[in-house]
Structure 1
Amino acid sequence: MATSCSPTSTFRCGAPSAPPSSSPPTPTPTPSAAPPMPRRPPPVYCIQPASCIQPSCVAPASCFSPRGLFSSKSKKDRNKPKPKPDIGNQVSPLPELMAEPTDARSMSFVGTHEYLAPEIIKGEGHGSAVDWWTFGIFLYELYFGKTPFKGSGNRATLFNVVGQPLRFPESPAVSFSARDLIRGLLVKEPQHRLAYKRGATEIKQHPFFDGINWALIRCASPPDIPKPVEIERPPVPPVAATSAAAAGEQKGSGNYLEFDFF
């Protein structure tokens, strides 16, 4: 069937003509048209090299999100002036790696009586804090030449470890930082003992170790290098000539052969 073109018609040769007004036509959705799909937020990617090792205590520093590629912010939000960050909050403290099993418990009763911690003697179960108690006993012995709780016997020593307070002799003179370190290590309650919470980090940060670079500790020279001592061997008594002569004069008899004794 042919399409006719009338002068009064709003259609021209089957095609719609432009509306008289300057406003654009409002599209009328047809019943068969599907509803518009909701816009999904752009995905966030994490680019990470294969050699990146992330312990649980270290915040990942090599992962980043390409926010410039997938940005849902409008131009107005991007043009707003950003607040200046506080200089004091820019530097965050470095994470600490504590590898000591401070929560592990044991019921074993082993060790030298003078070095046993009170919790071992009581049989209440102990953790890694007993090692720091032993370290304190060792430092005390290095300074004063004896252990602090030694008794007349093993039983008396154990009683002293549990019930006797720590005392320092008047001589030799020891610095305050050394006494403070030993006093912190020889606290009878393990939960209040030095290095109980953060392990060796607390020991390294004590004033007793001020000026020590722990990263280069193997390259540092010790404060006191002992002089080498040559130990002379005791003189060997000369071999008696008579015994050598007697050995040479021995002769075999019968079916025995003669031997030279060296």
Structure 2
Amino acid sequence: MAGGGEKGEGSSASSSSSSSAKTSGKAVESVWRGSFGSEVSEESTSSGGGGGGAAGRRGGDGRWAAAAGGLSKFRLVKKVGSGDIGTVYLAEVAGCDWRFAVKVMDKRALEGRKKLLRAQTEREILKSLDHPFLPTLFSHFDTESFSCLVMEFCPGGDLHALRQRQPHKHFSEPAAKFYVAEVLLALEYLHMLGIVYRDLKPENVLVREDGHIMLSDFDLSLRCHVSPTLVRAASLSTSAAVSGSCAATCFLSKNTKNTKKKKKKKKGSEREEAALLELVAEPTGARSMSFVGTHEYLAPEIVRGEGHGSAVDWWTLGIFLYELLFGRTPFKGAGNRATLFNVVGQPLKFPAAEASVAARDLIRGLLAKEPGHRLGGKRGAAEIKQHPFFHGVNWALIRCATPPEIPPPPALPPPPRAAGARGDDGYLDFEFF
């Protein structure tokens, strides 16, 4: 969890659902995982100083100052989620109106379960992120026994809970397109940093107070080498325009042929050739033998145990889109074994529910069982964004688009004074998982 909550609750970590168990086998690579836990700390560090990624977002944001100074200044309002290696609380800071999600990790417990590396490496990943659809790590605190991460709180809960509240328990196609487009940009950025996410599912996609999404929970992520390159676009109808610091997210939709002709007249053949270049930042060389993920979202190559790379993220994107549109995943069986069998051997089928030809075609491309034939497997997000399903999406200005739904302000009455779970001041004490 990077700040999200249990199904139906808001926060800024994701929670592991009991119905979608995570499995982690023996890894033959350096696996970078996520975290949770519980307790206080004297040693505090502002996250922007270590990884450099978050430092660019500090200007004018009072949350950085509010989160610094130590865990003792935080008041735990309520528990909003728990996962495999920790617990997430909604926390307030005395003297200001800021709310945070605080993920608490018990180092001894993690060490005993051989999961301490997951907590350590998730923190490093979070420190490196600077993207509108990924978490901001405002601060982290450590003691000899405990580690805490202070992140932004997402009051809108997760997309699983939001989907359950929709008519017929699935999203309209325009809404699904909006959420999938933002997730695609988040995955593109992660791949550009050499991070294979490996755990996309609606429970791990949180909704901010403005209705935009935030990907969370990096406990199964894999770090690897990546070499971003500019290549000639495969299609004359689309290409990627890269602009300054927005290189990872602001890939503009292609101009029309008429516009291109005008450019050719104005700037000549060199300008036209440059416009046909696209940035490919796909860690195609990543390889892992780990058996990790949520059963209904596992890619066939993971199930077969033949090793996997970054293409698993595009498989999960296809499952994700399918679930948003149809309210269920395509290969779910009566149990985990049946689900895994279906993932490998069952052909993709669509329900009778309405969905456009473009949506079904995109899902087919993403759910190719052979990673070499999978859409995005070679050129990553640059290839997927050109699909007709995303026609009309302004990738450069998607942050300014109106979300399908704006979550209402969370109802957070003052915590009652009660014995037991709460401290003398009426606020929560740490719980252990």
Which bracket does the TM-score occupy, shorter chain normalised? 0.5 to 0.7
> Partners in 1 of 2:295 and 2:342 — Cα distance?
10
Give the aligned partner of residue 228 of structure 1: 408
> Partners in 2 of 1:151 and 1:184 — Cα distance?
22
After superposition, the Cα gap between the structure-2 partners of 1:159 and 1:201, relative to the gap in structure 1 and judged at 3 Å, is: same
Query: Could you tell me which amino acid in structure 2 is paired with residue 228 of structure 1?
Result: P
Give the aligned partner of residue 392 of structure 2: 211
Task: Kindly indicate whether structure 1 or structure 2 has the higher relative contact order, using CA contacts under 8 Å at least 6 residues apart.
Answer: 2
SS in 1 for 2:278: coil
Deviations along 1:34-76, whole A, 9 cap, x unmatched?
Answer: xxxxxxxxxxxxxxxxxxxxx98469xxxxxxxxxxxxxxxxx
**Normalising to structure 2: TM-score of the pair?**
0.32
After superposition, the Cα gap between the structure-2 partners of 1:128 and 1:232, relative to the gap in structure 1 and judged at 3 Å, is: closer
Query: Could you tell me which amino acid in structure 2 is paired with residue 225 of structure 1?
Result: E
Instruction: Pick the structure with greater CA Rg.
Output: 1
Deviations along 1:156-210, whole A, 9 cap, x unmatched?
Answer: 1110000000000002x11111111111111101100000111001111111111
1:227 Cα offset (Å): 6.8
Query: Could you tell me which amino acid in structure 2 is paired with residue 123 of structure 1?
Result: G
Query: Could you tell me which amino acid in structure 2 is paired with residue 104 of structure 1?
Result: A
SS in 1 for 2:293: coil
After superposition, the Cα gap between the structure-2 partners of 1:227 and 1:208, relative to the gap in structure 1 and judged at 3 Å, is: same
1:226 Cα offset (Å): 4.7
Give the aligned partner of residue 283 of structure 2: 101
1:97 Cα offset (Å): 2.2
SS in 2 for 1:96: strand
1:3-152 matched pairs, under 5 angstroms: 57=229, 89-90=269-270, 91-94=272-275, 95-152=277-334
Total equivalences in the alignment: 152
Runs of 5+ consecutive residues of structure 2 not aligned to the other structure: 1-226, 232-263, 417-433
After superposition, the Cα gap between the structure-2 partners of 1:157 and 1:57, relative to the gap in structure 1 and judged at 3 Å, is: closer
**Normalising to structure 1: TM-score of the pair?**
0.52
1:175-254 matched pairs, under 5 angstroms: 175-222=356-403, 224-226=404-406, 228=408
- Once the two structures are aligned, what percentage of the paired residues are identical? 69
- Of Structure 1 and Structure 2, the greater helix share is in 2
RMSD: 2.7
